[in-house]
């Protein structure tokens, strides 16, 4: 599916923090193809392969630096209208391994980005948050549901959401996007995300191990996350001070649903339910608000995501065993306390 957003936005100069990452490299490409002027600020812990072609053909201006560096931030923000802030230590396993760094990058650096944006005259800040902030809920949750942080990752995101939304004034439009669990192909691929983990385990171990089989997780394709970010750039109203869940009501799945979907594609695999290990997170999410207020619809299903990944693996272009597809190993080696 192609998107043509150009000409609709009051913004033309966009900064993407974390623009070489799993979501960032997909978003950066969409922005470039929509004729935006794009800057990327990324510490390149995971390399720049996701956008190296865009850098070499000068489609984007890359600043290979850390978002904690106030001086570089001030420099990068010159002439920027809108910032999409994706850069973060993502996920609980990684945050719990490097808690001090996670707090610095996810929370303190976000505070600094807000201040620097305001000083530089940036008009809009779109913040990448997570539906895991809902924690564990018996009812379907929406943007007004009280949050429940069950991890350090979520805690840093909840605090940052609060700071972002409280920064709103007449000249500054902050917006929070709470992404469902991402899946799908990206130039900077990951296999440490729920759907991709299940695919990897089914192929390598012939077994999908799940705990909390009836726990709900909403999913959203990385392409659709990128499109939601652009939707938030393009809309002139219903953005400032707003929170949107990003996903689709039809893509709320139990873990067992997902495992069975993958098993259909990889019949040699078995599903093993582990009762001893617990996952406290369990949330079914409503995505009515983004659909109704921003007219946003997803373009891909989990089935599409499974198909496209398996095609690449079968062709030999992707090897799910590759350590570079896991955030955990690389980040722990390379990120230092600032």
Give 169-215 as a DSSP string. BTTBEEEEEEE-EEES--SS--S-SHHHHHHHHHHHTSEEEESSTT-
From 220, 225, 221, 211, select the one nearest 282 (Cα to Cα).
211
Helix axes 194-204, 255-265, angle to 10 degrees: 40
pLDDT of residue 9: 73
Residue 231 has pLDDT above 50, yes or no: yes
Q: What is the pTM of this model?
A: 0.95
Rg (CA), the chain: 19
Least confident among 2-6, 131-135, 186-190 = 2-6
Cα 237 off chain centre by: 23
pLDDT of residue 8: 57
Residue 178 has pLDDT above 90, yes or no: yes
Query: Measuring CA to CA, how many Å separate 121 from each of 74, 83, 175?
Result: 11, 11, 16
pLDDT of residue 4: 41
The CATH fold of domain 13-182+219-249+283-300+327-334: Rossmann fold (3.40.50)
pLDDT of residue 333: 66
């Amino acid at each position: 599916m192609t998107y043509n957003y150009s000409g609709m936005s009051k913004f033309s100069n966009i900064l993407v923090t974390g623009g070489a990452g799993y979501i960032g490299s997909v978003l950066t490409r969409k922005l470039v193809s929509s004729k935006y002027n794009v800057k990327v600020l990324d510490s390149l812990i995971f390399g720049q392969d996701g956008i190296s072609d865009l850098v070499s053909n000068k489609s984007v201006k890359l600043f290979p630096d850390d978002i904690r560096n106030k001086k570089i931030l001030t420099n990068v923000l010159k002439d920027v209208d809108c910032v999409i802030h994706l850069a973060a230590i993502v996920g609980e396993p990684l945050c719990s391994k490097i808690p001090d760094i996670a707090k610095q990058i996810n929370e303190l650096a976000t505070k600094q980005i807000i201040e620097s944006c305001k000083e530089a005259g940036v008009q809009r800040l779109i913040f990448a948050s997570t539906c895991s902030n809902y924690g564990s809920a018996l009812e379907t949750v929406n943007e007004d549901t009280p949050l429940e942080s069950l991890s350090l990752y979520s805690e840093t995101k909840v605090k940052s959401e609060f700071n972002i939304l409280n920064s709103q004034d007449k000249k500054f439009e902050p917006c929070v996007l709470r992404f469902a669990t991402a899946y799908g192909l990206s130039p900077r691929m990951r296999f440490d995300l729920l759907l991709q983990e299940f695919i990897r385990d089914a192929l390598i171990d012939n077994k999908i191990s799940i705990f909390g089989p009836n726990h709900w997780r909403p999913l959203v394709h990385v392409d659709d996350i990128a499109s939601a970010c652009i939707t938030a750039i393009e809309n002139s109203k219903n953005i400032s001070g707003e929170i949107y869940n990003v996903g689709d009501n039809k893509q709320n799945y139990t873990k067992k649903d997902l495992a069975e979907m993958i098993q259909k594609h990889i019949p040699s695999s078995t599903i093993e339910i582990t009762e001893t290990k617990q996952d406290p997170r369990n949330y079914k999410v409503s995505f009515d608000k983004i659909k109704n207020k921003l007219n946003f619809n997803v373009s891909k299903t989990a089935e599409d995501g499974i198909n496209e990944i398996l095609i690449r693996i079968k062709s030999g272009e992707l090897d799910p065993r590759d350590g570079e597809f896991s955030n955990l190993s690389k980040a722990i080696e390379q990120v230092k306390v600032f």
